[in-house]
Amino acid sequence: MESIITLTRFMGDAYALLLLPFLMRICRSLIIPAVISSPSVAEYIVERGLKICADVSHACSTHNGLVDVAVAEQFCGDMQRFTAFFHILSQCLPGQIRQFYVNHATDSFKFLSQAVKIIESSLIPSIYKAEIEPHREFLAAHAGVLYELFYKDIRASGAHLHPTIRFAINTLFEDLTSPAVSAWELIRHARETHICFALECTESLQSTGRMYQRCSGCLVVGYSSKECQKRAWKDPRVPHRDICKKLRQVVDAGKDHLGREDDEIFVRDMMKAKITDSVFVDTIRWLNNVRSMLSTADGSPAPGLKFYNEQGHPTLV
């Protein structure tokens, strides 16, 4: 990994990053752990991403208000190479993605936000705009994943939530045809997210460096202390006692399939256990609301993120 990054820095662009997606596809079990554990890869992505975005922002515009063709071409080429890498990275487990970004989450989110903003701006000439536009949605979705995994740290950094990324976050776990699949995604994410689920707790994986203990009732959410767990149990805004048993129903019925990528097996398990859609809807509502409220310092619903009211209807705060 170090040799590839050294080559990339020497070449002065992101061409060498084309090697990583290729190697990650053909030697998955060998290369992916090396990429995940290498601090140089994430560091380079942040460094190069912020630089190319800054180059576009500071480039001299032509008489049409567009950036120089050479700068636009470099930006589009780099975004395509980054997207190819992000596609492979997104197939990893949330825990692996978290490990990869753990020391670079806020800066990576900043880079992705700037990239999406530039793609949507009028700075890029139309010939390159058409070339890079298909990558915009995926870059926003990847930023949404980062926000989900590190939202306390990203919110604490004062990062602006771009509308396109906000939309990606709100649709990240949506599956209108199957509440079971949506609940499956949310529970998997909650189990992989090492944060305290008590509102207004300021600790995070980055600040403490330790893993949190799961609730012994539901085996889904984690807490940084017994005090946080007690407070969350009766918190009138999103009391854990209202959902604990339902989460455990789903976990017990899903068994080992919650840790796998095949949602069809999970759905079959739910049908065999006769878990009703109302349990899934309650699960989706509770986990989405906690996700939104954990994003703010005072435990109020986060502006722009989906929040379910008392009637169970999704709204934007």
CB-neighbour burial class of residue 241 (10 A; exposed 0-12, middle 13-18, buried 19+): exposed
Q: Using CB atoms within 10 A of its CB, is residue 11 exposed (0-12), middle (13-18) or buried (19+)? A: exposed
258 and 281, same structural domain?
Answer: yes
Residues 101 and 197 in one domain: no
SS3 174: coil
Residues 66 and 198 in one domain: no
Answer for the pair 35, 1: CB distance below 8 angstroms, yes or no.
yes
Same domain, 228 and 274: yes
Beta strand segments in 56-145, E: none
The pair of three-digit structure tokens given for residue 4, joined into one six-digit string: 């590839």
Question: Residues with Cβ < 8 Å from 145, sequence gap 6 or more?
Answer: 90, 94, 97, 172
The domain boundary residue, chosen from 142, 170, 198: 170
Domain range for 274: 179-316
Q: Which SS3 state, helix, strand or coil, does residue 61 take?
A: strand
Where b means 16+ CB within 10 Å and e means fewer, 29-39 reads: eebbebbbebe
Q: How many CB atoms lie within 10 A of CB 157?
A: 13
With 0-12 / 13-18 / 19 or more C-beta atoms within 10 angstroms meaning exposed / middle / buried, residue 315 is exposed
**Cα–Cα distance between 170 and 174 in angstroms, integer?**
8
> pLDDT value at position 109?
94
**153 and 85 in one domain?**
yes
pLDDT at 196: 85
Where a domain ends, among 170, 191, 223?
170
Looking at the fold, whether 218 and 150 belong to one and the same domain comes out as no
- Please tell me the total count of domains within the chain: 2
137 & 12 share domain: yes
Tell me: do 13 and 50 sit in the same domain: yes
Query: pTM for the full model?
Result: 0.61
CA atoms within 13 A on the CB side of 122: 5
Same structural domain, 130 and 189: no
R_g (Cα) of the chain, nearest Å: 21
Residue 59: how many other CB atoms lie within 10 Å? 17
Are the C-beta atoms of residues 237 and 293 closer than 8 Å to each other?
yes
Per-residue pLDDT of the chain (317 residues; tens, 9 = 90+): 667 667 666 666 666 667 777 777 777 667 777 888 888 888 988 998 999 999 888 876 655 677 888 888 889 988 988 898 888 888 776 667 888 898 899 999 999 999 999 999 888 888 888 888 888 989 999 998 888 778 778 877 777 788 898 888 777 655 445 788 888 888 887 887 777 899 888 776 556 666 778 899 999 998 988 999 999 999 998 999 999 999 999 999 887 667 666 667 888 888 888 999 889 888 988 988 887 777 555 555 554 445 455 544 444 43
Identify whether residues 103 and 187 lie together within a single domain: no
